Structure 1
Amino acid sequence: MKRLLTLGILAQLALSTASFAQTKVVAHRGAWKHTGAPENSIAALKEAIKMGCEGSEFDVHMSADSVLFVNHDADIQGLPIERTSAKQLSAVKLSNGETLPTLEAYLKEGIKQKKTRLVLEIKPSAVSKERGIALTRKVVAMVNALKAAPKVDYISFDYDICKEITKIAPKATVQYLNGDKTPDELLADGIHGFDYHYSILKKNPSWIKEAKSKKLITNVWTVNDEKDMDWLISEGISLITTNEPELLIQKLRK
């Protein structure tokens, strides 16, 4: 009997450890905050890979002449990306001297390795819904042309963009960002999971277990506070997107 009880306790501990081990780290805009690399730069991607992050998140916009660039904001150094030519954008230098990366250059660097996933956020167009869909199709075409698809996960705040990806890239993994869809709604539309702000999940804590029970991906952004990290880990979240990947990696190794 004592041996059975001991085995039971060990099994419970193993399950507990496994639930914590499931949480993985996604570097938000790459690993930049403590490395000196600019956000969304190829240098920040390299740092995230070097750290062993599960994923490195980055954002994609389309220039006025339909070239794809990596940058978080809709403008860079006073230039609105959607209304600026690729020639002008290619002249922009980041703080480390790196040229504003094109999606092509970013993906080519990202697929040199095998351990870190490329979490590609397609930004909604400020010009029109149609342009956002055109951006989406161009992004997916480039990912496929570079044979990067096995390393890429897609995310977007625009639900129509998410649904478009599921149509044109049925094998791709897609997560929705905006936080206004339940796990059941995501499942019904063929979206593979959510990547919601942590405040959404604090208001709807049951969504984590509900989504996992339906085999949906559970991701959360942008979590930089240790207490929030601890809560999400205890709830069994699969992925945490953070500006503090070093801190989260250290926490998960304890």
Structure 2
Amino acid sequence: MRKQLFILFAMTVLGLSATAQTKVIAHRGAWKKDKLPQNSLASLLQAAELKVWGSEFDVHLTKDDVLVVNHDADFYGTDIATSTLEELATKLHPNGEYIPTLEEFLNIGLQLDGLKLILELKQSGAGKERTLAAVPMILNLIKKLNAESSVEIISFDYDACLKVRELNATIPVHYLNGDKSPEEIKSAKLSGVDYHYSLFQKNPTWIAAFKALGLKTNAWTANKKEDIQFLVDQKIDFITTDEPELALELVK
């Protein structure tokens, strides 16, 4: 009798694992509903309030080798790659925040229980060399803050993804550009992919193909109900969205 109960329990656990719920990532934080600045500390805090699985943000390297958080290559007209942090600090977000350094951003994020911090390394306007130079700086900072279990890295720059894996064997790293096969991602020892949702719609077997190789699947940036629902039905691992409130309702 005990053996039968154990088998039943094991089968239940395996069944739950196979149908694990899709997780929601707030794109540039949860900013849209309350009109908060994207990639601001306020949008990060709002993402935590919503209890999404993760919050995505973008990282650039300044002229004076400071990692900062902002989506665009410029901060309200000031080019990040050719400016110092002091020069960038002459501009403010509409809510009065300065551009956050990555260290400041991570220090706040690490205090938000259960929130994964999805760090996108942006391609530098100063060239490939500067993009790759940012990789060890990011990894050193993550190590310094003991943030290895809280941070995952994504990038459109394939070489940057490979550099992350070369320097760190365990931190999750996902490729964004959509031009690599499951076999190529597996061979590169990356953790998975974060492709535009339309690519999964055009190639409906891809999610299963990546999963079959033990790779994670994420889609950006799905905002419409029908697109989010398609990804949920396909059992994608993660959805990155500007509409985290809607996505949380649909994944339930």
TM-score, normalised with respect to structure 1: 0.91
2:22 maps to what in 1? 23
* 2:112 alignment partner AA: Q
**Identity, % of aligned positions:** 43
TM-score, normalised with respect to structure 2: 0.92
Q: Distance in 2 between matches of 1:114 and 1:17?
A: 23
1:147 maps to what in 2? 146
Q: Distance in 1 between matches of 2:90 and 2:106?
A: 20
Q: Distance in 1 between matches of 2:127 and 2:243?
A: 34
Cα 1:210–1:18 change in 2 (3 A) is closer
**Alignment RMSD:** 1.7
Runs of 4+ in 1 over 6 A off after TM superposition: none
Structure 1's unaligned 5+ residue stretches are: 1-10
Q: Distance in 1 between matches of 2:227 and 2:46?
A: 24
Q: Distance in 1 between matches of 2:154 and 2:174?
A: 5
Q: Does 1:196 align with 2:192?
A: no
1:60 maps to what in 2? 59
2:110 maps to what in 1? 111
CA deviations 1:162-221 (Å, max 9, x no partner) are 000001111100000000001111000111100000111122221100111111110000
Q: Distance in 1 between matches of 2:89 and 2:133?
A: 21
Q: Distance in 1 between matches of 2:247 and 2:202?
A: 23
CA deviations 1:114-169 (Å, max 9, x no partner) are 31100000011222211111011111111111111210000000000000000111
Q: Whose helix proportion is higher, 1 or 2?
A: 1
User: Following superposition of structure 1 onto structure 2, how do residues 57-206 of structure 1 map, counting pairs within 5 Å?
Assistant: 57-206=56-205
Q: Distance in 2 between matches of 1:149 and 1:114?
A: 14
1:234 maps to what in 2? 233
CA deviations 1:32-66 (Å, max 9, x no partner) are 00023210001101110111111100000011111
2:248 maps to what in 1? 249
How many residues are paired up?
241
* 2:142 alignment partner AA: V
Q: Distance in 1 between matches of 2:236 and 2:16?
A: 13
Q: Distance in 2 between matches of 1:134 and 1:112?
A: 28
Moved more, 158-167 or 200-209: 200-209
1:212 maps to what in 2? 211
C-alpha contact (below 8 Å) 2:92/2:99 kept by paired residues:
yes
* 1:63 alignment partner AA: T
Q: Distance in 1 between matches of 2:189 and 2:149?
A: 19
Cα 1:181–1:17 change in 2 (3 A) is closer
